[in-house]
């Protein structure tokens, strides 16, 4: 049976982030993505113009149809756009699922994507079921406002948390992997010049694909970080501002 990853994510029409990034990345690891669009967006490399949620019951129908036919253990979740969506998806998930959540609260253009009601639903309904959470510093602060990094990590019910400092670092980016609220391992990379659209989606999807291939967590994280860094080193510019990670390896 082929390894596969169920992907719940938004559609980015410029192809840098969201489902396009997820599918490209997961395919690069020889794993099959099972894509379900949660959110339609009007955006480019400069800004997000509009966001439209897909009906939560239609998403539920897609989930049920897939599970009637295909066995899947790994679920990668990206952009969710309503509390109803979050509640529906959280209710469908079970203990057999290994869940990777990239908590997209703002776009890389800094446009707000989640309302406060949706953030609360994310914290109360979905986070307790998440195996690995991959926030940046701003997302961690949105999930646990007013707390130090260690306090914030300890307040989250996820077994693993990979915190990236991409959004706050000037020269050296440190990715800190926590296991059960304790620092497990650090991974450092030099920060590259320029702005990139879809690096977080690339990273979380790469980890998901490697987990689906039965790779241990800390090894999966390191391999995914190395892959993501290479996609940024070879990034391409198709719009006016942000670069696209080049996820297609030779």
- The rounded distance, in Å, linking the Cα atoms of 195 and 97 is 34
The answer to whether 31 touches 212, Cβ cutoff 8 Å, is yes
Residue 51 three-state SS:
strand
User: What domains are defined for the chain?
Assistant: 4-233 (3.40.1190.20)
**Which pTM value belongs to this model?**
0.95
The DSSP string of 73-129 is -EEEE-----HHHHHHHHHH--TT-EEEE----B-TT--B-S-HHHHHHIIIIIGGG
pLDDT digits (tens, 9 = 90+) for 98-121: 999 999 887 555 556 778 888 999
pLDDT computed for residue 109 by the predictor? 53
- The rounded distance, in Å, linking the Cα atoms of 218 and 166 is 19
User: Beta strand pairing status for 172-179 and 48-53?
Assistant: unpaired
pLDDT digits (tens, 9 = 90+) for 160-181: 999 999 888 888 999 999 999 9
pLDDT computed for residue 139 by the predictor? 92
């Amino acid at each position: 049976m082929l390894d596969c990853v169920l992907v719940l994510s938004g559609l980015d029409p410029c192809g840098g982030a969201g489902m396009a990034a997820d599918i490209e990345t997961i395919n690069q690891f020889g794993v099959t993505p099972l894509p379900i669009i949660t959110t339609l967006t009007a955006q480019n490399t400069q800004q997000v113009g509009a966001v439209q949620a897909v009906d939560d019951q239609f998403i539920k129908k897609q989930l049920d149809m897939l599970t009637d036919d295909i066995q899947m253990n790994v679920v990668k979740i990206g952009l969710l756009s309503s509390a109803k969506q979050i509640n529906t998806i959280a209710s469908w998930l079970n203990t057999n699922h290994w869940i990777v959540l990239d908590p997209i609260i703002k776009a890389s253009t800094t446009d707000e994507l989640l309302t406060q009601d949706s953030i609360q639903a994310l914290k109360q309904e979905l986070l307790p079921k998440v195996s690995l959470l991959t926030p940046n510093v701003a997302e961690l602060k949105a999930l646990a406002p007013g707390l130090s990094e260690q306090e914030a990590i300890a307040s989250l019910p996820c077994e693993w948390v990979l915190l990236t400092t991409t959004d706050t670092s000037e020269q050296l980016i440190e990715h800190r992997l926590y296991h059960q609220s304790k620092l497990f391992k650090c991974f450092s990379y030099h920060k590259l010049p320029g702005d990139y659209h879809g690096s977080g989606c690339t990273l979380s999807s790469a980890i998901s694909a490697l987990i689906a291939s039965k790779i241990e967590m800390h090894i999966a994280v390191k391999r995914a970080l190395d892959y993501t860094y290479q996609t940024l080193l070879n990034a391409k510019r198709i719009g006016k501002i942000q670069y696209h990670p080049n996820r297609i390896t030779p």
